Amino acid sequence: CLARALSGIGQGILFIGVQSYILDVASPERKTRGAAIIVYGFQGGMITGMAIGSLLVTHIGQESLFNVAACVAFVMAVYTLIVVPGKRMSATTVQEPPPSFRLMARDLSAVFRDLEFMRTMLLVGVPTKAVLTGVVIFALPLLLSSGGFRQEDIGQVLMIYAACVLVSSGYISGFVDRTKRTDDVLLVGSFLSAIALIAIGVFGPSGAALASGGNAQMAIIAIILAVALLGLAHGLVNAPVVTHVASTFTARKNGAATVTATYRFLERIGHVAGPVVVGQLMATGIATGKSIAWIGVAILIMAALFALKPRQKFHESEVSGS
C-alpha cells in the first residue's frame, strides 16, 4: 500500500509538472496542441506499457518487471535533468509565493466561485474520468470476460480505445486552436461518449440485443465499434477541456497553470467515483452491461445540461466581474 501511495504521489507530481511546463511555454495559439502532448504520452504509454508488460512478465516474472519499470523511471529522471530546458527568469518576473495549504484553499475558493469552471468540471471532466476508471478499466474487462473473451483479446480491445483517443486528439487539437470552439467540441465528445456507453450496454453479453436472440458475432463487432467510438469521444475531451478551463475568468485572473492544476486535482474525484459507482450498481444486482448503459444515460443527461448553459449571460458576468 505504501509503495502504491508513493507511486501515485510521484505520478501526480509528474503530471502536474508536465502540464504546467507545457502550458507555460506554449503560445496561446497552440495551447490545445500542447495539452494534446500529455494525452499522447499517457495513451501511448498505456498502449506500449500493456503490450511490453504482458510480454515481459511471462519471461522475467512480476518482480523483475517492476525492477525494469523502476530503471525506466530512473532513466526518465536523468533525461529530464539533462535534456529538458529550465524556465528562464527575467528581471521583471514576479516571484510567486511558495505553495501552501492556504494558497491551495485560496485557489479552490476561486474556482468554486467560477460557474464556467464548475460547469465544465462537474458535467464533463469528472464524468469522463469516472467513465475511464469505472467502465474502461473496471467494468468493460468484466463484461468482455463474461462474454468469453480471452485476456489477450480484452487487452487488445483496451488498446483500441487508447489508439482511438490518440487519433481523435491529434485531429481535434489543431481544430480547437484555430477556432477556439471548445464548448462545441466538449459537447460533441460528451454526446458521443453517452452513445458509445449505451451501445456497449445494449450489445454486451448481458445486454438486450443478445437477450432477445441477436447475432453474437454482430454483437461482438458492435462492442468493438462502441469501444472505438468511446475512445474517439474521450479524445475530443481530454485536451480541449484543459484549453477550455485555461480560458475561464479565474484562469485569466489567477494564471492558467494554477487553475489547470487545480482542475486536474479536482478531476481525480472522477477517478475515485467511477469504480465506486459501477461497483454499487453491480452490487444491487444490475448486470454489468445494464450498469454501463445506465451510466451512458447519465452522461447523456449531463451533456444536455452542459448544452443548456446560457453562454452570453456568463460572458457578461465575466466582464462585470473584471
Contacts of 21 (CB under 8 A, 6+ apart): 84, 87
Give the torsion sign (CA, 306, 307, 309, 311): positive
Q: Which residue has the higher pLDDT, 243 or 85?
A: 243
What's residue 101's pLDDT? 61
Say if pTM beats, i.e. exceeds, 0.85.
no
Query: Using CA atoms, how far apart are residues 117 and 320, in angstroms rounded to an integer?
Result: 17
| 213, pLDDT greater than 60 | no
Among 32-36, 208-212, 265-269, the minimum mean pLDDT is found in: 208-212
> Binning pLDDT at 50, 70 and 90, where does residue 320 land?
very low
141 pLDDT higher than 80 = yes
Domains (range + CATH), the chain: 2-86+106-309 (1.20.1250.20)
> What pLDDT score was predicted for residue 56?
82
Q: Which pLDDT value is given to residue 187?
A: 95
Amino acid 92: pLDDT: 42
Judged against a pLDDT cut of 60, whether residue 174 lies above it is answered with yes
DSSP-assigned states of every residue in 102-134: HHHHHHHHHHHT-HHHHHHIIIIIHHHHHHIII
| DSSP codes joined into one string, 43-106 | HHHHHHHHHHHHHHHHHHHHHHHHHHHHHHHHHHHHHHHHHSPPPPPPTTPPPPPPP-HHHHHH
Structural contact between residues 278 and 141, judged by C-beta atoms closer than 8 angstroms: no
Chain-wide mean pLDDT for the chain? 80
Across 151-161, average pLDDT:
82
Question: Hey, what's the cell of 23?
Answer: 502550458
Distance CA 155, CA 132 (A): 15
CB 188 within 8 A of CB 176: no
Query: What is the pLDDT, as a whole number, of residue 189?
Result: 95
Residue 255 φ/ψ region, left for φ over 0, alpha for ψ in the -120 to 50 degree band, beta for the rest: left
Cα 37 from Cα 14, distance rounded (Å): 14
Over residues 225-273, the pLDDT tens digits come to 999 999 999 999 988 898 899 888 888 888 877 888 888 888 888 888 9
Q: Which pLDDT does position 99 carry in this prediction? A: 54
Supply the Cα-derived Rg of the chain in whole angstroms: 21
Return the pLDDT at 197. Answer: 95
Pairwise pLDDT comparison (322 vs 148), residue with the higher score: 148
**Residue 205: per-residue pLDDT:** 64
How do residues 274-303 score in pLDDT, each as one tens digit? 989 988 888 887 778 888 999 999 999 999
Q: Is the pLDDT of residue 106 over 80?
A: no
More confident residue, 320 or 54: 54
